[in-house]
Amino acid sequence: MSSHREAPEIAKDPVADSTDLYAFVSPDRPDTVTIIANYVPLEGPAGGPNFYEFGDDVLYEILIDNDGDGEADIIYAFEFHNEVANPDTFLYNTGPITFLGSPNWNRRQFYKATRIEHGRQQLLVENAPSPPNNIGPRSTPLGPYTTMVGDSIQKLADGTWLFAGQRREGFYVDLGSIFDLGTLRPVESLHLIPMPGNAPGVDATKDLNVHSIAIQIPKHLLTSDGRMPTNATDTHSVIGVYTAAFRRKAHVHDDDHDVQSGPWVQVSRLGNPLFNEVIVPMGDKDRWNRLRPRQDNQFAKYVAHPELQRLLPVLYPGVFPRLAAYTKERVDLEAILLTGIPNGVVPGFAGNFTGTTQADLLRLNMAIPPASSPSLLGLLGGDVAGYPNGRRVQDDIVNIELKAVAGATIPLVDPSFTPDGAVGAVDQGITPNIADRYLTTFPFLGTPRDGYDTPAS
């Protein structure tokens, strides 16, 4: 998974578990950037009677570095609280929920959003509503539900838009196959433990949901000089983004209520997809979640010599001989994941280099416009507006990163290397239904699956 249940401790705390992070120039408002941070992994649509929600004891942040030092210069902070209309019923709703103020909606969630820039705090919204979970055709009829989602979008005077609520999972992966000893179904006959024939991938997340914090921000509010980025070679055009979740340092359980106190302590973070998932080893995963990106130089050795690079030739004997023989540092992966790609490395791409500070940040060159015909493979597919230049909701992260680790990007920094022919066949075998799964406008992730039409079994 992109970052679902990626470390032992955070796997026990789903409301604080960041699952995916997206950052891209908005195709519906190209003078803005959309950032989406997803939490609460693998939500089954039939999740009642206590339906999924954000943690009311968790501080969620989206953090932006706009000067290349690996530290956050701008923070968008979100805190949630719940209101229960009738504590004497077990029901989430007592009838159809057709508008945000419906008296039938028993347990509602609201949030406060704050922008923090160099320590200066600005309250953006308070008591902003999250829409209800999508329960089923009787509780949340589709037409009114779609209207409620639109009504819950907060449109601020400075051009910033905010949304927080349940959405459909956008990340697609053959979860059962990938973690069964790295199996790719389309080429499983070549595996160390082969299965007869080859098969398409199975999208394990297509009927699951997540909880999304989405913000759409005018570009000039993100640059270090306050100007609209128009020159893709100007360092002011590039930002680095990550999301993090925090809990209070002390939590005391009592008979009647819980007490939390002390400073906020970071318990999870996410920049690039799959970083902690498949780059950081088990013994360091929990520690990685507690540290800030600026401290990531201590994990650079795992990027320079990734375990997955060593595993691929073992799991697919005779298929990756050149990769098996390659012992140099993976300078290409260090650029993609830790510093950004300098201008001139990828033909036609002005780069998203943020400097020599090694930090796991999702880097976006805001001066590069949205693609008219996006490639699911992003930069590997010749699309400079896709991952690893930011990340769009439809980008095929699994295939991109598998191909990169398998050697597809080594020649960009080491022309003496020729990738194995099998790199072109590295594919999880999933083609998402773009029109069904995503929206063309903010908040871009599609309508959540409901439990009536998408039962658990």
Cα 26-29-32 angle, rounded to 5 deg:
65
**Long-range contact list for 378-381, CB < 8 A, 24+ apart?**
379/346, 379/349, 380/404, 380/408, 380/409
User: What would the mean pLDDT of 12-20 be, rounded to a whole number?
Assistant: 96
Which residues touch 386 (CB under 8 Å, ≥6 apart)?
Answer: 371, 374, 375, 376, 377, 378, 379, 392, 395
| Residue 1, pLDDT score | 47
pTM over 0.85: yes
**pLDDT tens digits, 181-220:** 999 999 999 999 999 889 999 999 999 999 999 999 999 9
User: Strands, DSSP E only, in 189-237?
Assistant: 209-218
List, as one string, the DSSP characters of 298-339.
Answer: GGHHHHHS-HHHHHHHHHSTTT-HHHHH--S--HHHHIIIII
CA 187, CA 177: separation in Å to the nearest integer? 11
- pLDDT tens digit sequence for 388-409: 999 999 999 999 999 999 999 9
> What backbone torsions phi and psi does residue 53 show, to the nearest 5 degrees?
-160, 170
Q: What is the mean pLDDT of residues 229-248?
A: 97
pLDDT computed for residue 252 by the predictor: 85
Q: How many residues does the chain have?
A: 457
Is the pLDDT confidence value at 165 over 90? yes
Q: What is the mean pLDDT of the chain?
A: 96
Nearest CA to 378 out of 366, 386, 370 is that of: 386
- For the chain, domain boundaries: 10-282, 300-425
Beta bridge partners of 163: 214
What band does 36 get if pLDDT is binned at 50, 70 and 90? very high
The whole-number pLDDT of residue 2 equals 56
* The two three-digit tokens of residue 380, written as one number: 């590997």
Residue 139 phi, psi (nearest 5)? -85, -40
Q: In this predicted model, what pLDDT tens digit does every residue of 37-51 receive, in sequence order?
A: 999 999 999 989 999
